[in-house]
Structures are given as structure tokens and as C-alpha cells.
């Protein structure tokens, strides 16, 4: 099976209204929030969301998506439930126009540079993927983090589908990350000292906190509670933890981002 483009298979795509001022795929998917999206065709981004493989693209006014079957087969057009998942992932219920207007009114620097960064928003990621990707991000850069996360998924995650010469894998489960032989395996994959923290945090969540349900419920917890809980995990320092509640483990308290070039003063 090949990666789709909107031009090559239009019947297998669905769309929702979404102007570029509310979402720029090229800025958001390559911004260092998620590390699992690739631009395999011009302006077409493919990656894993909810244990399924998607390709996304956009026009000036609409966001288009197609989702691949879990096993080899042609598959069908995305369903309303699929479109709901995309809306939730990009938090399209949040109006960037209103936020940009407010921020610009209280911050002249933001007002000055915001025109260069229209459509930058936070993703609502899977809590497990969010947490362990950001443990990998310690003292690292986007290119190296992307490679680490990809090798982690290829080694420990379930294979989903192959498109062209690219094999897509789901993110590993807590159980897969907590295995007794995982740390040396992750060190061989280039995670270095982070390998110990990945394993120890997975083990702590499973043995001390009750598993995945605990991590998921932090999304609904007050910010301070989520902050304290995450700081208790091995390898999650204060700086790292300040990022997690905004990106997938806990609901946003207001959109917060700092893409390259939109620096603080």
C-alpha cells in the first residue's frame, strides 16, 4: 500500500472547516510537541494517532484527512467519529483568533511576531506517548528526539501497517516499557541515561499508581495536582513537567506555546 495524496485518491478523504489561521500543519506537527509525523509528500503529513495511521493535508479553508485500514485493504472514507478524533487532537474547539487577539492586546512583542506564526496550537496527545516522548526530550533536540521515539516504537510497539517502504508502529504500552530487559535494549537504541527513566517511570505507574487509568485521569485533575504527581515520576524534572500538563497529560489552562522565533523577552 502507498501513502495517499488528496489528488490521487480524493474519495478516501474527508474534511472539516479549518482555516490556516486556526491551524498550520507544517508549524504544529514539526514543532516538537509530537515526534511521529512526517511529510512524505509535499504538504501531506503522515503519522500515528489513536493506534491508526493517518495522512493529513489542508487548503486555505479546510483540513483534510484519510485513515488507513488496520490490515492490508483499501479502507474507506473517514467516519464522523474519525473526524471527531481529529478535532480533539488539534483542540479545534479552542479559537486561536480570540486567543491571539487577547495576547496581542496585553503583549506588544506577541502582537509584533504573531503574524509570522498564525495557526500554532497545542495538541491533545495520548498521555503515555506524551509522557515518555518528553522523558526522551531531556537535554536533546527535535531531530534526535524524533529518532529516539521512532526507534522506541519500532522496537517495542505493535506494527500497524506498511506504506511504501515505511513501517508504522503504535506507541509501546506501559507493560512493554516496564519489562525487565527493556533498559539495556533502549540503551542500545541510543536513549542513553534516559532509558533508565523510561523503564522506572513505566514501572512506577504500573506498580505504585495503578496503571494507565491513573495517567489518563490526570487529564481531568487540577493543574497543581497533575504537576505534583508527574514530578514524582523518575526522570520528570520540574522543567519537563511544566510542559507535560499543557501537551496531553492535563487539560490546558490557556494556550501556551513558544515556537522557534517566537521567543520570550
Cβ atoms of 163 and 68 closer than 8 Å: yes
Please return the burial class of 248, using the count of CB atoms within 10 Å of its CB with bins 0-12, 13-18 and 19+: buried
Cell of 188: 542500545
239 catalytic residue (yes or no) = yes
- How far are the Cα atoms of 145, 148, 172, 177, 201 from residue 192, in angstroms, in the given order? 12, 10, 18, 15, 15
Which residue in the list 84, 112, 188, 239 is annotated as catalytic? 239
Residues 129-157 as b/e (b if ≥16 CB within 10 A, e otherwise) read: bbbbbbbbbbebeeeebbebbbbbbeebb
Nearest-CA neighbor of 197 among 242, 144, 246, 148? 148
Sign of CA dihedral 152, 154, 156, 158: positive
Alpha carbon distance 143, 5 (integer Å): 25
Catalytic positions? 239
Amino acid at each position: 500500500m502507498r501513502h495517499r495524496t488528496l489528488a490521487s485518491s480524493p474519495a478516501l478523504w474527508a474534511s472539516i472547516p479549518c482555516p490556516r489561521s486556526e491551524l498550520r500543519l507544517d508549524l504544529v506537527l514539526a514543532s516538537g510537541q509530537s515526534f511521529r509525523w512526517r511529510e512524505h509528500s509535499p504538504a501531506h503529513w503522515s503519522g500515528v494517532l489513536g493506534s491508526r495511521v493517518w495522512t493529513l493535508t489542508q487548503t486555505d479553508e479546510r483540513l483534510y484527512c484519510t485513515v488507513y485500514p488496520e490490515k492490508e485493504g483499501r479502507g474507506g472514507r473517514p467516519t464522523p467519529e474519525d473526524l471527531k478524533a481529529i478535532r480533539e487532537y488539534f483542540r479545534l474547539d479552542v479559537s486561536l483568533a480570540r486567543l491571539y487577539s487577547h495576547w496581542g492586546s496585553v503583549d506588544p512583542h506577541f502582537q509584533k511576531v504573531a503574524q509570522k506564526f498564525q495557526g500554532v496550537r497545542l495538541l491533545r496527545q495520548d498521555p503515555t506517548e506524551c509522557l515518555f516522548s518528553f522523558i526522551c526530550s531531556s537535554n536533546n533536540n527535535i531531530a534526535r528526539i524524533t529518532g529516539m521515539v521512532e526507534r522506541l516504537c519500532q522496537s517495542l510497539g505493535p506494527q500497524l501497517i506498511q506504506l511504501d517502504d515505511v513501517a508504522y508502529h503504535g506507541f509501546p504500552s506501559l507493560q512493554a516499557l516496564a519489562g525487565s530487559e527493556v533498559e539495556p535494549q533502549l540503551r542500545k537504541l541510543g536513549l542513553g541515561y534516559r532509558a533508565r527513566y523510561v523503564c522506572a517511570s513505566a514501572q512506577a505507574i504500573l506498580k505504585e499508581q495503578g496503571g494507565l487509568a491513573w495517567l489518563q485521569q490526570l487529564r481531568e485533575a487540577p493543574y497543581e495536582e497533575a504537576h505534583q504527581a508527574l514530578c514524582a515520576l523518575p526522570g520528570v524534572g520540574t522543567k519537563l513537567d511544566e510542559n507535560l500538563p499543557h501537551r496531553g497529560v492535563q487539560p490546558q489552562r490557556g494556550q501556551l506555546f513558544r515556537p522557534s522565533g517566537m521567543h520570550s523577552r
